[in-house]
């Protein structure tokens, strides 16, 4: 009986979270569609400034470089490239088009992702049904590296940008 009550409670919590997510999406849509061009441009400038901000200390710079090395992407000018892209190519129309295509409820390309992590004591719960109305694909991996190896672009061997290491 106790397990049944917990199961029912967990389903209620999921429904509440779903309603909250819908409310956030509706609020976001209203904010985007009502946003004046000047406010959007101010947000663009803030994002560009954030990506071009100088490192505050050596630790911050080291972390940035090591994250590129550990992810094996070696794109050391990532923040500069993102800032340039946002500055030159981003517009309110592009953002609204992306929102309408991929985020808005009922949009043609909208996808949902649910991630469930099971501890070793709950391995038997992996096959439990999630929803009868949704198409569910279960993917199980033993490690992050085995997951990465199955990605389409793995291993991505980019051109190494050594100019980032040269003094200005």
pLDDT at 136 over 80: no
Tell me which of 129 and 118 has the higher pLDDT. Answer: 118
Residues with Cβ within 8 Å of 45's Cβ and at least 6 positions away in sequence, in order, are none
| pTM as predicted | 0.60
Query: Dihedral angle at the C-alpha atoms of 11, 15, 18, 24, nearest 10 degrees?
Result: -140
Q: Could you tell me which of 66, 48, 70 has the C-alpha nearest to residue 58?
A: 66
Q: Give the Cα separation of 78 and 139 in Å (integer).
A: 30
pLDDT at 159 over 70: no
- Give the mean model confidence (pLDDT) for residues 40-57: 94
CB atoms near residue 107 (< 10 Å)? 13
Encode pLDDT of 83-99 as tens digits.
999 999 888 988 888 88
């Amino acid at each position: 009986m106790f397990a049944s009550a917990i199961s029912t409670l967990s389903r209620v919590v999921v429904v509440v979270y779903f309603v909250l997510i819908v409310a956030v999406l509706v609020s976001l849509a209203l904010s985007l569609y009502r946003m004046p061009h000047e406010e959007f441009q101010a947000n663009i400038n803030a994002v560009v400034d954030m990506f071009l901000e100088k490192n505050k200390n050596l630790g911050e710079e080291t972390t940035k470089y090591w994250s590129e090395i550990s992810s094996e992407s070696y794109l050391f000018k990532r923040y500069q490239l993102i800032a340039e892209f946002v500055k030159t190519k981003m517009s309110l129309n592009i953002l609204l088009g992306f929102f309408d295509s991929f985020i808005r409820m009922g949009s043609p390309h909208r996808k949902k992702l649910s991630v469930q992590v099971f501890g070793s004591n709950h391995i038997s719960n992996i096959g439990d049904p999630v929803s009868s109305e949704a198409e569910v694909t279960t993917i199980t991996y033993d490690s992050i590296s085995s997951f990465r190896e199955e990605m389409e672009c793995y291993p991505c061997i980019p051109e190494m940008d050594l100019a980032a290491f040269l003094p200005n």
